[in-house]
Structure formats: C-alpha cells, structure tokens
Amino acid sequence: MDRGWGFLIGLLGAVWLLTSGHEEQQPPETAAQRCFCQVSGYLDDCTCDVETIDRFNNYRLFPRLQKLLESDYFRYYKVNLKRPCPFWNDISQCGRRDCAVKPCQSDEVPDGIKSASYKYSEEANNLIEECEQAERLGAVDESLSEETQKAVLQWTKHDDSSDNFCEADDIQSPDAEYVDLLLNPERYTGYKGPDAWKIWNVIYEENCFKPQAIKRPLNPLASGQGKSEENTFYSWLEGLCVEKRAFYRLISGLHASINVHLSARYLLQETWLEKKWGHNITEFQQRFDGILTEGEGPRRLKNLYFLYLIELRALSKVLPFFERPDFQLFTGNKIQDEENKMLLLEILHEIKSFPLHFDENSFFAGDKKEAHKLKEDFRLHFRNISRIMDCVGCFKCRLWGKLQTQGLGTALKILFSEKLIANMPESGPSYEFHLTRQEIVSLFNAFGRISTSVKELENFRNLLQSIH
C-alpha cells in the first residue's frame, strides 16, 4: 500500500512538472549545434541532401582523390604571381614568411610536364620523348602532323574565345613559374584585416548580381549586423532568378571553403625549432557559428555543399574527354602515367555513379535572347573575379585563389559545353572542346580543395561535440 501511494505521489509530481512550464526549458545549444544544426537535409535549388554528400565524399571519393592529386601531373601548377592588379595600385604585400611561395627549380619539374602544354595525343607525346632538349618547346609543334597542328591552332583560338570563364595566366611569360602545390599548401598565413577584406568586398559588392542599395558588412567578425539587415539581404537573394542566385552561392561556397582550410590548418604554435599546424576551433566558430555570425555561418556552409555539387556535376560531364585513348596524363614516366589515368577514370566513374547530381538544365532555360545575355553576364562577372585574384597581397593566398577560381571557371566551361563534349570524336584531336593542362590541374585541385573542406567539416563537428 505504501509503495502504491509513493508511486501515485511521484506520478502527480511528474504531472505538476510538465504543466508548470518546465518543459519549455530546453538545454542550451552545443557549439556543434550552433554551427551545424541548419547544415543538414536538402539544399536549396537542389534535390540532394547534405548527408548523402558527406557519405559519398568522405568514404568513397576523398581518399582516392587525394592520392591522384599527389601525383606529379597534378602537383605542379604553372602560375604568374607577378601580374599587376588591374583595378588598383595600393596593394599592401604580406610580409610574413608564411605568405611566401617557393617556386620550383627547373630540374625539379618532370620534362614531360614542361614540354607538353597542349600535347595529349600519343603521337605528340612520343615526339616529346625524342626531343634532345626539353627547353625547345617550338620543336614539338614543328614535328606534329598537319591534323594535330590544326587542332593546336584551334585550341589556342578557343582558349582566347568568349567561352572561357577565366582570364588565365600566360604560361609562356617569363614571370610564370611552376609551383609544387604539395610544398606550398593552403593554410592560415596571417593575411587578414582591411587588405584581405577589400578583395572579398569587391567580389561581392561589384561582381555578384546584387542591387547596389543592399549593403552589409561582409566580415564575419564585424559587429552591429542586425537581424533586420540580415533578413533584407537574404530577401533580395531569394527573389533572384536561379542563375543569379546560383552565382552568389558559388562565390559564397568558395569563400566558405577557403575559410574552412584556414581554420583546419592554423598556426597553433611556433618555436625556433618547428611550427605546429592544426584545427583552430575558435577560428572556425568565429566564421561559422550561427550565433556569432547572426545566422549566416550555417548558410555559408550550405553554399559550400552547393559548390561541391556544381563541380561534381562538371566532372561527371567531362568523363568522355578523359576516356579518349589519345588522352594521357603525360609526365614522361610511362608506367606512372598509365596508372594515374586508370585512377583518374576510376574516380570519374565513381562520380558518375553519384545518385543525386545537380540538374543544370534549369539554367538559362528561358527566352533564348534573354538567356544568352544572362549567360554572358554570368561569364563576365566570373571572369572579372578571376582578375581580382591578381590583387591579393599574400602570394600563397593569391596562388590558391587563382587556382581555385580557374578550377571553378573550368567547371562552368564544361557545364556549358555539353553538346560540344557529346560531339567529340572517339579518337584524334578534338577541335570543338579542349582542356589545357592548366585547366585540368586547376579543375581537379579545386575540387580536391572542396572535397577536403567537406571532410574537414566532419572533423570540426567531432571536435565541437567533444567540447561538451
């Protein structure tokens, strides 16, 4: 009997607790929830969800992609870091050691890479191997068949055509140098403040499809950004057509990806013997925490996933170009070149199998005249952004900024060249659609950076959960 009364009293007490308003007291959000609670489920303008991307990238794609990018063909990138800024003269150069880029010595780069800018056919590659001096670049062109020479001329003309989304470096310039990307990794360099934010302000304020009346502080650490201003900003974004909205989200996704890299490879400790790089949780929270960024941080992370889907779709579309028997990842090491091409095709077939690809058919699907103008505006805006990268004061940031914008520009070029890719011959030179080695290296390395960001988000999520 006493036990029955005890049970009844306990039950009444529980009822009182439930009806007295205590159910409204929810536990405070954890640090992980504040960054990631909104980064789940379906993405805007897409039929894909974040969880599917995480599983596909982190467990099926990321390890193989990293192995490919460590190969000689993809680790050496030729870039001109001395091009003047075309927009303003007052560039403050970063004086920190971590901002510096160490270019390769001539004998460090495989001869096949130095000699083969356009040479993908077996005929051209064999002729390169026979050259007595790798420096005699012109000799290769003189030895090519008439058909291949014609293709090279077409490719050169096409590279300068209106189909390109980037203003690429002149790799024949004396100022262009090879850089080993593995020895010059993207990480935090200390380049920040007004000079760094000037770059992103120009990109967002002048090159995104945004009414000039809409202004906001773009620095995620800036204070005073109220909810009303935040809602105003995203109200105009939601009112844009899908193409203009996608353009902003691509740039925001690229920005977010770069910030993830900087937070994941942060200088944590420096002594006279060594430097220790690693995950800076505080830095990550300042850039992506939902409270600290007043709701914008999680949106940035979702835009990163959107960028991932766009570049993933481009890689799935370009598979026929790399499947052609004439294409080689030529470095001069025949065995490694064949193995790397097999790995490349394995990766592309894996990408092709992704179940929820972005549907680009909704892009520029309206009135032909209006769609053509919109596409041209889209291309010019992005081309302008590629030029802004020459204004970055930190050379290492400039290197990776130029590479990633060229990679995204190449992905856009692929998406808008679907018919040209479909009409490529099965063998022999392709006159209509062509990718230079620079475009190939930037395309895969840029996607490798985004793939790394998605993987790092899992690492940060686990680190933030371990705090509480």
Predicted confidence (pLDDT) per residue in 59-116, tens digit: 999 999 999 999 999 999 999 999 998 888 866 677 688 899 999 998 899 988 987 5
Q: In which residue are the tokens 């020459």 written?
A: 390
pLDDT number for residue 15: 39
Query: What pLDDT score does 134 carry?
Result: 36
Most confident of 375-384, 386-395, 425-434: 386-395
Tens of pLDDT, residues 286-316:
999 988 888 888 889 999 999 999 999 999 9
- 104 token code pair: 């390769």
Q: Using 50, 70 and 90 to split pLDDT, how confident is the model at 38?
A: low
Closest CA to 169 of 329, 380, 397, 405: 405
List the end-to-end C-alpha distance of the chain, in Å, as a whole number: 44
Please tell me the distance from the alpha carbon of residue 238 to that of residue 230, in angstroms, as a whole number: 12
The strand pair at 275-278 and 177-180 is best described as unpaired
Q: Which residues contact 446 (CB under 8 A, 6 or more apart)?
A: 311, 403, 404, 406, 407, 408, 410, 411
Of residues 49 and 363, more confidently modeled: 49
In the chain, what are the domain boundaries? 38-113+146-213+232-466
Element (DSSP H or E) covering residue 330: none
Res 130 pLDDT > 50: no
Residues 6+ apart with CB under 8 A from 121: 148, 326, 428, 429
Active site residue 397: yes
Q: What percent of the chain has pLDDT over 90?
A: 40
- Placement of tokens 């840029």 in the chain: 446
Instruction: Over range 211-226, report the average pLDDT.
Output: 44
Q: Is pLDDT of 161 > 60? A: no
Is residue 213's pLDDT more than 60?
no
| pLDDT at 217 exceeding the cut of 70 | no
Does pLDDT of 450 surpass 90?
yes
pLDDT at 146: 56
Which residues lie closer than 8 Å to 440 by C-beta, 6 or more apart? 410
Q: Tell me the C-alpha distance between 451 and 49, whole Å.
A: 16
- pTM, two decimals, is 0.81
Residue 278: enclosing H or E segment and its boundaries?
Answer: strand 275-278
Span 225-241, average pLDDT: 51
Does an H or E element contain 447, and which? Answer: helix 437-467
Alpha helices in 26-164 (DSSP H): 31-36, 50-55, 62-69, 72-75, 111-115, 122-130, 137-143, 146-159
> Which residues are known binding-site members for FAD?
187, 189, 200, 252, 255, 287
DSSP 8-state code for residue 61: I
- Any bridge partners for residue 382, and if so which? none
